[in-house]
Amino acid sequence: MAKNDGLKFTKMSGNGNDFILMDNYDGSVKLSAKQIEALCSPKFSIGADGLIMLEKAAKGYDFYMKFYNNDGKEAEMCGNGGRCIARFAYINGRAKAKMSFLAKDGAHEAEIKKNGDVKLKMIDPFDYRNQVKIRLSGSEVKGSFINTGVPHFVIEVKDLANVRVKHIGKEIRFHTSFAPKGANVNFIEKKGDDVFDIRTYERGVEDETFACGTGATAAGIVLYLNGKAKSPVSFNTRGGLLKVYFKDENKNITDVHLEGNARVVASGVVGEDAFKF
């Protein structure tokens, strides 16, 4: 276990998706998967959907974003987490209002807006598959698969408020169709022109979260490719509004951006007991 005397952290929320952020630019913070899981445990520790380290990146980039789900496992990317670390870097003098950084899924750009919202450039999506049928216990669902940094399955529904997101999402997330990595699962309902409600089951968290940035991005692009929306697409998450922007260049989706809030909730120092289960 790493010595944690004076280990500083900041708690942030991106549309209700909450994260523990740490400045590890000098590489001195060493946390095991169990320690990260303990820190992310609600009621017993700080509690969060994930933990993000700001680390030194290759020349030409302001920093590297290392993201862990709350099970302690490193993941490719998190859209809301990317917006939070961008504002975290800006507040702490690691980057200017317009910045570029690296994550496991590749390069990103971000801009801090005057109202504190963050507009984040995502990677271009890939592996789009439409009309995917998934056989569940006693039923069948149909949706679209796309990777926006992490894999997502998008399902259009009616009466979203009464969808059993955790129950259905968990079964789809672990379905053999998406093995071995699995997929996040997004349920969407149309509310107006280019406006939708969205609820997401996230792998790693293994539960519904208040928002998912890569999920909203996936849903927006899928809706466009299916002829049901155009950029920008707005999503009402349980944690607030997310907007997804993109361009279509000869049937290739590019210049993808995600915009929403990124709020500082608290800052402090991690105590020894925060690492205990």
N-term to C-term CA, the chain: 13
Choosing from 39, 40, 52, 78, the catalytic residue is: 78
Tell me how crowded residue 45 is: count the other CB atoms within 10 A of its CB.
Answer: 20
Whose structure tokens read 């445990």?
41
Residues 208, 166 contacting (CB under 8 angstroms): yes
d(CA 215, CA 173): 13
74 CB neighbour count, 10 Å cutoff: 15
212 is catalytic: yes
The answer to whether residue 84 is catalytic is: no
Cα separation, 106 vs 127, in Å, equals 16
CA dihedral 165, 169, 171, 172 (to 10 degrees): 140
212, 244, 253, 258: the active-site residue: 212
Catalytic residue positions, numbered: 78, 212
